[in-house]
Amino acid sequence: MPQAELLPEVTKFIESPKMVIGGKSVDAVSRDMFDVIDPATGRVLCEVPRGGVADIDVAVGAARQAHEERRWAGLRPGKRTEVLYKLGELVKRNISELAQLESIDSGKPVSIASGEMWAVGEVFRYYSGWPTKVFGETTPTDDNMFVYSLREPIGVCGGIIPWNFPMIMAAWKVAPALAFGNTIVLKPAEQTPLTAIRLGELCLEAGVPEGVVNVVTGFGQEAGQALAQHPDVDKIAFTGSTEVGRKVLHASEGNLKRVTLELGGKSPNIVFSDANMKRATRGSMHGVFLNSGQVCTAGTRILVEKSVHDDFVSALLDATASMKLGNPLEEETQMGPVISQEQMERVTGYIEIGRSEGAEVAVGGERASELGDGYFVQPTVFTGVRNDMRIAQEEIFGPVAAVIEVADVDEAIAVANDTIYGLAAAVWTSDVSKAHKVARGIKAGTVWVNTAGNVDPSVSFGGYKQSGFGRELGRHSLETYTQTKSVWVNLR
């Protein structure tokens, strides 16, 4: 694959990216490093510090000190608004650099990464409005008492995030933590540490005081585990697999820290016979193949009403076959590689499982080895899938769709809910009543009607069932990043 030009800022940054702790760029206490791999080539891009227990300790100490000294929470709310807004502006001003960095680190097409960086700027802009809108209340009790509440930050937060949307996930943790006056230690995924480090630097540039945002790069079982069980961390916001979410919950037991979990999904995408087929086809395709299928809300189970099944499938296969797979740094690329060798083997392993379960590979089904040593997997559609097959029940986290035929609305809702997950769902129909009936019937934290994949900082996001608990974004994050104190004053 041809080597696309890197921007000078990107080349310079990857010379020696370091952790951001207490306002300084630092190496690990142990001086150990680990490799960052470019998924499009399989080659080493650079090294980053391998933070572990000792580094988490230092970072939590820095965040604690910043919190106790009220370096951030003690600022005038209007000042915090100004800093958060500036941070959003800085992200937007550096979109090309950040998008390219994200692209080489994660393999996602640069055009898509640019959109994500814009969205990250929007997340900070949205949250910049919050510091001035956090209120307590007064409560009538006894005439001789004055009772009021204070809404206060939780304290030191830990953010543990996955590799699929590295910078967006970092923003989803850092922005609300800051908006509501907390300090934070962020542990990005080992596969994608680069934009998180850049975000830590941009926070300082925007005027976030030292120690308020700390970024520790490292492995989940070392740095992640240490953060989740640290006795001086007050809250953990985790996004990742259901399996690791369980570990984080266990690790939180020691000091009963607050935990919010955004976990996996196996989201249904339901196409009814009265849908606009052109929109449903495009929407379903993007819903499952965006980011090489490495999306927690991906509509991986495509439920299609019997009467339109064959026509819909043939349109979906045509659209899928026309997707442009290739070098993420080229503008026209629609789909890049998956994140790692391990993930590629997992995805192709699931494709084999699907075949052996009796489902039919209608398109794709192989590694795209013509693209070199990168971790490319063809966009793959299985037809003839039953909902009890493993490929319909287990999260694959790759470009693999399972088409399941359903008879009517009731069967569609029943099949949609026959899963341990409940993150999201999409429904395609031109019947308003049907759309609302299905939206109400589905057990998931988000339902899209005649659209798929939308998120916005003002709309809360999270899971039902084993897709997690707690809500991020929107006004619900006020609840998850603050706590209230009732104050009783005797007037006698």
Task: Select the residue interacting with ligand NAP from 247, 367, 434, 465 (CB under 6 A).
Answer: 247
Give the length of the chain.
492
CA 272 to chain centre: 29
CB of 124 to ligand NAP, least distance (A): 19
One of 224, 268, 326, 328 touching ligand NAP (CB under 6 A): 224
Angle between the N-to-C axes of helices 194-206 and 95-106, in degrees from 0 to 180, rounded to the nearest 10:
160
Nearest residue by C-beta to ligand NAP?
Answer: 220
Q: Which CB, 191 or 429, lies closer to ligand NAP?
A: 191
* 296 binds ligand NAP, rule: CB under 6 A: yes
Give the shortest CB-171-to-ligand NAP separation in angstroms: 13
Catalytic residue of the set 46, 157, 203, 296: 296
Identify residues 404-433 at the interface with ligand NAP (CB under 6 A).
Answer: 423
Task: Pick the piece of the chain touching ligand NAP (CB under 6 A) from 216-224, 283-291, 326-334, 350-358.
Answer: 216-224
48 counts as binding ligand NAP under rule CB under 6 A: no
**Which residues have C-beta within 8 Å of that of residue 113, sequence separation ≥ 6?**
98, 99, 100, 102, 103, 106, 328
Q: Is the CB of 247 or the CB of 367 nearer to ligand NAP? A: 247
Asked if 6 is part of the footprint of ligand NAP (rule: CB under 6 A), the reply reads no
Annotation says 203 is catalytic? no
If one asks whether residue 445 binds ligand NAP (CB under 6 A), the answer comes out as: no
SS (H, E, C) the chain: CCCCCCCHHHHHHCCCCCEEECCEEECCCCCCEEEEEECCCCEEEEEEECECHHHHHHHHHHHHHHHHCCCCCCCCHHHHHHHHHHHHHHHHHCHHHHHHHHHHHHCCCHHHHHHHHHHHHHHHHHHHCCHHHCCCCEECCCCCEEEEEEEEECCEEEEECCCCCHHHHHHHHHHHHHHCCCEEEEECCCCCCHHHHHHHHHHHHHCCCCCCEEECCECHHHHHHHHHHCCCCCEEEEECCHHHHHHHHHHCCCCCCEEEEECCCCCEEEECCCCCHHHHHHHHHHHHHHHHHCCCCCCCEEEEEHHHHHHHHHHHHHHHHCCCECCCCCCCCCECCCCCHHHHHHHHHHHHHHHHCCCEEEECCCECHHHCCCCCECCEEEECCCCCCHHHHCCCCCCEEEEEEECCHHHHHHHHHCCCCCCEEEEECCCHHHHHHHHHHCCCCEEEECCCCCCCCCCCECCCHHHEECCECCCHHHHHCEEEEEEEEECC
Q: Which residue from 19, 117, 263, 426 is in contact with ligand NAP, where contact means CB under 6 A?
A: 263
Among 38, 55, 210, 262, binds ligand NAP (CB under 6 A): 262
Please state the closest distance from residue 186 (CB atom) to ligand NAP, in A: 10
36 binds ligand NAP (CB under 6 A): no
Pairwise CA distance, residues 368 & 282, whole Å: 22
469 binds ligand NAP (CB under 6 A): no
Q: Does 240 bind ligand NAP (CB under 6 A)?
A: yes
User: Taking CB under 6 A as the rule, does residue 397 contact ligand NAP?
Assistant: yes
Size of the site for ligand NAP (CB under 6 A): 29
Rounded to whole angstroms, the Cα distance separating 258 from 260 reads 7
Provide the minimum distance between the beta carbon of 389 and ligand NAP in the complex, in angstroms, as a whole number: 18
Q: Which of 97, 116, 210, 262 is catalytic?
A: 262
The verdict on 161 binding ligand NAP (CB under 6 A) reads yes
* Residue 50 is a binding residue for ligand NAP (CB under 6 A): no
- Binding residue (CB under 6 A) for ligand NAP from 17, 52, 211, 264: 264
- Nearer to ligand NAP by Cβ, of 216 and 304: the residue is 216
| Closest CB to ligand NAP among residues 255, 322 | 255
Taking CB under 6 A as the rule, does residue 160 contact ligand NAP? yes
221 binds ligand NAP (CB under 6 A): yes
Q: Cβ–Cβ contacts within 10 Å for residue 491, how many?
A: 8
Q: Establish if 322 lies at the interface with ligand NAP (CB under 6 A).
A: no
Minimum distance of ligand NAP from residue 313's CB (angstroms):
26
Q: Does the active-site annotation cover 296?
A: yes
Residue of 239, 260, 267, 429 that binds ligand NAP (CB under 6 A): 239
Q: Which stretch, 223-231, 252-260, 384-392, 440-448, contacts ligand NAP (CB under 6 A)? A: 223-231
Residue 463 CB, nearest approach to ligand NAP (Å): 6
Which stretch in 9-17, 135-143, 213-221, 383-391 sits in contact with ligand NAP by CB under 6 A?
Answer: 213-221
Only one residue has tokens 């998120």, namely 455
Taking the CA atoms of 182, 183, 188 and 193 in sequence, report the sign of the dihedral they define. positive
Q: Which stretch binds ligand NAP (CB under 6 A): 4-12, 109-117, 241-249, 357-365?
A: 241-249
Q: Which residues contact 364 (CB under 8 A, 6 or more apart)?
A: 320, 377, 378, 379, 380, 381, 399
Instruction: Give the one residue of 105, 116, 122, 395 binding ligand NAP; rule: CB under 6 A.
Output: 395
Q: Which residues are catalytic?
A: 262, 296
Judged by the rule CB under 6 A, the positions of this chain that interact with ligand NAP are 160-164, 187, 189-191, 219-221, 224-225, 228, 239-241, 244, 247-248, 262-265, 296, 395, 397, 423
